[in-house]
């Protein structure tokens, strides 16, 4: 018997290591969470040992039997549902997103145990940790099963799945789009209709924000391109309407040189620049600018855990400011970075988003997926360093065309597709990251 331990960042990567080294016939004989990820112990030709004699523990045994029954029920339900077509789902186009079918977290939630001794409580925590690992194993196995069935029974849908993954679109959005063209038999027509539905899902403002006027604040983490985008917006307005109707405000006293950069821009454009220090009232700072048609605010990109960020967002959300806040997102950012940015800054009330660094991006699926999933209108996009030439008012079909043009040349691997299908079985909170 060959036994080996595998370490990885998550269960899916660990399972891939087991398959690559020991093959599909390997047995998982133990799993546990360790610092930095998970540890799997796998074996070939593994013989199940006889259970050692132990003292009975009625409370633990009852809970374990109940949990095992729930696991079996959940697995049977998910396997059954993977054979059926997905139900019609228009949440990302007209309704609020709904939780996916076959919620493993609900199926694995344990009943409240009876009061136990401390030693029993420790054993129960260990059992819960093992069950968590078992849930991840089930997700990986069910994902592989669902992807295999998709390829065998619906090859055209499987081909479209691959093309959407080459674009970098998230699994949940891909599923919704594919359901919209499930009954279209001709492949080219199905692809064209799918892209049309994708373009329809991308919201853009009915009127350009600069044309509406008012107080416009750019928010987002450091490095997303807020200050450069603000410079492009200011220059665009000055070229069209003159410098007398626009003013700049900086809340960024944390980054070295940030306010000097804005003051330099103000001198070049001949527009006033107001610097607001921490603790200073933004309402009072804006009062002298009340007659300006457009006031552009450059906020500080602070860590999510910084109390100053909370204060800044609360200020921008205040009724007295009446600011339209736009989340600046770099198209070069990873999906988890984009999600974290949205969850950190949504508390100020977002009017939409601005997509930056499109000229440096290798994929647009991730950032478009976030904008669609969170119903954020795409107000502007930037695709170069020139001020203000590289600032565009977006058109949804042009964004889709650009996303198709940036798709990966190679199809994703079978393991990648299986992992993507496994993600559809996760609890909503885990998918949200």
Q: What are 200-244's pLDDT values in tens digits?
A: 999 998 889 999 889 999 998 888 988 899 999 999 999 988 889
Calculate mean pLDDT across residues 384-396: 89
CB 215 within 8 A of CB 295: yes
Here the tokens at position 374 are 């969170």
**Residue 244 included in any domain:** yes
Q: How far apart, in whole angstroms, are the C-alpha atoms of residue 107 and residue 114?
A: 20
CB 32 within 8 A of CB 40: no
**Residue 261 included in any domain:** yes
pLDDT bracket for residue 98 (50, 70, 90): very low
pLDDT reading at 430 higher than 80 = no
CA distances from 260 to 54, 188, 252, 264 (A): 73, 53, 10, 6
**Residue 78 included in any domain:** no
Q: What are 131-158's pLDDT values in tens digits?
A: 666 666 666 666 666 666 666 777 777 7
Residue 328, domain CATH = 3.40.50.300
Which residues pair with residue 354 across a beta bridge?
328, 380
Q: How far apart, in whole angstroms, are the C-alpha atoms of residue 4 and residue 219?
A: 49
**Hunting for tokens 């109390």 — which residue is that?**
307
What is the reported pLDDT for 17?
80
Calculate mean pLDDT across residues 5-11: 78
Calculate mean pLDDT across residues 381-393: 89
Here the tokens at position 34 are 């360790």
**Residue 266 included in any domain:** yes
What is the reported pLDDT for 339?
92
pLDDT reading at 428 higher than 80 = no
Q: How far apart, in whole angstroms, are the C-alpha atoms of residue 136 and residue 27?
A: 15
pLDDT reading at 108 higher than 50 = no
What is the reported pLDDT for 101?
46
What is the reported pLDDT for 352?
93
Regarding predicted confidence, which is higher, 296 or 11? 296
From the centroid of its chain, how far is CA 306?
Answer: 22
What is the reported pLDDT for 118?
58
Q: How far apart, in whole angstroms, are the C-alpha atoms of residue 425 and residue 142?
A: 8
Q: Which of 70-84, 132-146, 169-183, 414-428 has the highest mean pLDDT?
A: 169-183
Calculate mean pLDDT across residues 326-340: 91
Which residues pair with residue 41 across a beta bridge?
5, 30
From the centroid of its chain, how far is CA 212?
Answer: 30
* DSSP-derived 3-state class of residue 106: helix
Regarding predicted confidence, which is higher, 123 or 235? 235
Lowest average pLDDT, out of 49-63, 214-228, 278-292, 304-318, goes to 49-63
pLDDT bracket for residue 429 (50, 70, 90): very low
C-alpha gyration radius of the chain = 26
**Residue 236 included in any domain:** yes
Calculate mean pLDDT across residues 303-327: 84
384: left (phi over 0), alpha (psi -120 to 50) or beta: left
Number of domains forming the structure of the chain: 1
What is the reported pLDDT for 156?
78
Q: Which of 86-90, 200-204, 252-256, 413-417 has the highest mean pLDDT?
A: 200-204
**Residue 254 included in any domain:** yes
Contacts of 418 (CB under 8 A, 6+ apart): 140, 143, 144, 147
- Among 78, 103, 13, smallest CA distance to 429 is for 103
Regarding predicted confidence, which is higher, 83 or 323? 323
Percent of the chain with pLDDT over 70: 67
**Residue 278 included in any domain:** yes
What is the reported pLDDT for 154?
73
Rounded to a whole number of angstroms, the distance between the first and last alpha carbons of the chain is 39
pLDDT bracket for residue 34 (50, 70, 90): confident
pLDDT bracket for residue 180 (50, 70, 90): confident
Domain hosting residue 352, numbered range: 209-393
Lowest average pLDDT, out of 65-74, 102-111, 288-297, goes to 102-111
CB 221 within 8 A of CB 341: yes
Q: How far apart, in whole angstroms, are the C-alpha atoms of residue 33 and residue 7?
A: 10
The CA-based angle 379-192-428, given to 5 degrees, is: 60
- Does pTM surpass 0.75? no
What is the reported pLDDT for 65?
62
**Residue 227 included in any domain:** yes
Spell out the long-range contacts of 43-50 with Cβ–Cβ below 8 A and sequence spacing 24 or more. 43/1, 43/2, 43/3, 43/4, 44/1, 44/2, 45/1, 45/2, 46/1, 46/3, 47/1
CA distances from 36 to 10, 11, 140, 201, 353 (A): 9, 12, 20, 38, 34
């Amino acid at each position: 018997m060959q036994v080996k331990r595998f370490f990885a960042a998550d269960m899916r990567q660990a399972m891939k290591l087991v398959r690559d080294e020991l093959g599909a016939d390997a047995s998982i004989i133990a799993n546990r969470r360790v610092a930095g990820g998970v540890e799997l112990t796998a074996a070939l030709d593994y013989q199940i040992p006889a259970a050692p004699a132990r003292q009975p523990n009625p409370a633990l045994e009852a809970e374990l039997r109940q949990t095992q029954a729930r696991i079996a029920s959940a697995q049977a339900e998910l396997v059954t549902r993977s054979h059926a077509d997905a139900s019609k789902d228009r949440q990302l186009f007209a309704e609020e997103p709904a939780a996916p079918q076959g919620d493993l977290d609900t199926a694995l939630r344990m009943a409240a145990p009876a009061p136990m001794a401390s030693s029993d409580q420790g054993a129960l925590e260990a059992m819960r940790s093992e069950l968590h690992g078992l849930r991840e194993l089930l997700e990986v196995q069910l994902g592989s099963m669902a992807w295999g069935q998709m390829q065998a029974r619906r090859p055209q849908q499987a081909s479209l799945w691959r093309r959407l993954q080459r674009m970098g679109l998230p699994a949940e959005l891909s599923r919704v789009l594919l359901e919209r063209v499930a009954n279209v038999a001709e492949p080219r027509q199905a692809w064209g209709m799918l892209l049309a539905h994708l373009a329809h899902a991308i919201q853009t403002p009915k009127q350009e924000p600069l044309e509406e006027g008012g107080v416009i604040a750019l928010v987002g983490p450091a490095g997303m391109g807020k200050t450069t985008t603000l410079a492009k917006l200011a220059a665009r307005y000055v070229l069209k309407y003159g410098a007398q109707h626009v003013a700049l405000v900086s809340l960024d006293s944390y980054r070295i040189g940030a306010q000097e950069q804005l003051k330099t821009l103000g001198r070049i454009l001949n527009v006033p620049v107001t610097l607001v220090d921490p603790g200073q009232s933004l309402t009072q700072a804006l009062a002298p600018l009340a007659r300006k048609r457009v006031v552009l605010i450059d906020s500080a990109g602070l860590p999510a855990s910084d109390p100053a960020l909370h204060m800044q967002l609360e200020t921008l959300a205040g009724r007295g400011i009446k600011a339209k806040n736009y989340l600046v997102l770099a198209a070069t950012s990873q999906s988890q970075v984009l999600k974290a940015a949205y969850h950190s800054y949504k508390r100020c009330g977002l009017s939409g988003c601005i997509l930056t660094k499109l000229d440096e991006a290798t994929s647009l699926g991730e950032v478009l997926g976030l904008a669609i999933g969170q119903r954020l209108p795409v107000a502007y996009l930037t695709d170069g360093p020139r001020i203000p030439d590289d600032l565009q008012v977006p058109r949804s079909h042009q964004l889709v065309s650009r996303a198709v043009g940036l798709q990966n040349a190679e199809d994703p691997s079978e393991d990648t597709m299986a992992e993507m299908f496994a993600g559809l079985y996760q609890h909503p909170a885990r998918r949200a990251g």
